[in-house]
Chains A and B, each alone.
Chain A
């Protein structure tokens, strides 16, 4: 009985992944636009340093742009899953389906990670066409572990942000974008967080992006081992372990609020 229930929930969770990949194929034109934008964004940022003749800084900026590309897509895919369903008009059907909310959100999160990896993989594969990047010093296992662990915390943040469009259709969406931009500001995507004004710096300490970027740069540029990056990785893991249940709980509260106030509907 229990096994049947688990398998049913897994199938339902896969339904969200499959549905989103089917939609991705139907909106292929837009996907190409986004991909093109991501590639050009990374390239133009990298060329700033090429012009200055500093190859190590090229890698520094490219890692920042790539990682931010990955993490922001994870964040936005999860946080905008509610807005997207509202726009399509299917939100009521999804919320009245006999599945656990965890199953619904796990499906959205799984898609977000797979999709981000696919997008960043394509961007990464194109980089050698533009830059002479030396990856001989890269520690791939550390980079992969950083990527996986950091995804957890960004999923948690995404879950918390997803509740905003549930509570207020338009303003919630604005808030989600502001939240994403602030994360970028405080996480040191293109600079060390030390350059931030003192009053902003505490935010960089609590942002998972800070540890992700630091660990990823150390792994790719300085061959840092997992053991060497352990302090950052442990912090990232703790943030993820805290943020995912917190995100689910916040989402649950948001759902109750939406059901009380009548906001769980297509027109908001």
Chain B
């Protein structure tokens, strides 16, 4: 069984946009056009289809606003798709959202904690919501945190006193406390120092080996997904441009695989550099 099946999924958002002034010379006309707004439909994810195998580490790379986070939020039941279907281990994320929530967890780009509570208090709170026994959760939290290089004596410090890297490690511990079958990581290493980044990447590999966890990871970092992922989807303008193993993606550019990066693949497919696309 596939861990994740996404079929022709699309998501649109409606936003009010101010209409441009029509150059009306009259005061009333100018006032009317200054307050008139129209509803515009913005595509956030456009007809995306893919499967993720059980135990696979699947990467999604693309610039800001390309639809990565929307896709993750659709999978983790925080958004309803406008069309298409998403299944997690055979369960529909819309109709069976309760069951899906029991087997997934997520690490988002922002740490998202109660800032005044300590990391342990935040973790115990999360454990209770997921029905994990407190004693077991405490033991597991310490194990995961120490594996990530988080000192045990800091678990009682409030989250606001921790660095961004340490907060992100607590976020990873929170997700893994619940032993998810599918772990969704939305730019988990953005803003981390190189050492913390490496710790997180190694840990992702480890949990796949040890717990058979399926991981979907979005990133800006082409090298990260190249090293970490079994398969990578390149997303731009809310559409998947390509999906394959890193090696097969590089073959799209040329045969000198050692000197071709995923950045080159992105350029070949979209005609722009990732940084340029971010702007």
A residues adjacent to B (C-beta < 8 A): 8, 11-12, 14-15, 18-19, 22-23, 26-27, 88-90, 92-100, 256, 259-262, 264-266
Contact = CB atoms under 8 A, between A and B. Distances in A.
Contacts of B126: 93, 97
B116 A89 contact: no
Name A's interface SS: helix
B101 A98 contact: yes
B14 interface: yes
Given A23-B114, A89-B113, A96 B77 contact: yes
A266 B112 contact: yes
Contact of B121 (A12, A22, A100): A22
A201 to B, nearest CB: 37
Contact of A96 (B76, B115, B128, B131): B76
Contact of A260 (B73, B77, B80, B111): B80
B117 A23 contact: yes
B116 A93 contact: no
B117 A19 contact: yes
Interface in B92-122: 98, 101-102, 104, 106, 108, 110-117, 121
A99 B125 CA distance: 13
B78 A90 contact: no
B130 interface: yes
A99 B130 CA distance: 8
22 contacts: A11-B128, A12-B129, A15-B128, A19-B117, A19-B125, A23-B117, A26-B158, A88-B113, A88-B115, A89-B111, A89-B112, A96-B104, A97-B130, A98-B129, A98-B131, A259-B77, A259-B78, A260-B79, A261-B13, A262-B70, A265-B73, A265-B78
A145 to B, nearest CB: 33
B128 A261 contact: no
Contacts, number: 85
Interface string B129-141: 1110000000000
CB-CB nearest 10 A-B residue pairs: A15-B128, A26-B116, A98-B101, A97-B129, A98-B102, A8-B131, A89-B112, A259-B80, A19-B125, A260-B80
B114 A88 contact: yes
A94 B174 CA distance: 13
A96 B112 contact: no
Contacts of A260: 79-80
A15 B129 CA distance: 7
Contacts of A98: 98, 101-102, 129-131
Contact of B114 (A19, A259, A261): A19
B102 to A, nearest CB: 4
A264 B174 CA distance: 20
B162 interface: no
B192 interface: no
Contact of A264 (B79, B98, B111, B130): B79
Given A11-B131, A15-B129, 11 more contacts: A26-B117, A92-B106, A92-B108, A93-B112, A96-B104, A97-B126, A97-B129, A98-B131, A99-B129, A100-B98, A265-B78
B260 interface: no
Contacts of A265: 73, 78
B253 interface: no
A184 B104 CA distance: 44
A89 B117 contact: no
B116 A12 contact: no
Interface in B172-204: 174
B247 interface: no
A257 to B, nearest CB: 10
Contacts of B70: 262
B69 to A, nearest CB: 9
Interface string B30-49: 00000000000000100000
B112 A12 contact: no
A153 to B, nearest CB: 28
A223 B110 CA distance: 56
Contacts of A26: 116-117, 158
Contacts of B112: 88-90, 92-93, 266
B110 A18 contact: no
Contacts of A14: 128
Nearest to A5: B131
Contact of A256 (B80, B129, B131): B80
Contacts of A19: 114, 117, 121, 125
Contacts of A22: 117, 121
A41 B227 CA distance: 63
Nearest to A90: B112
Counting chain B CB atoms within 10 Å of each CB, which of A11, A95, A262 scores highest?
Answer: A262
A161 to B, nearest CB: 22
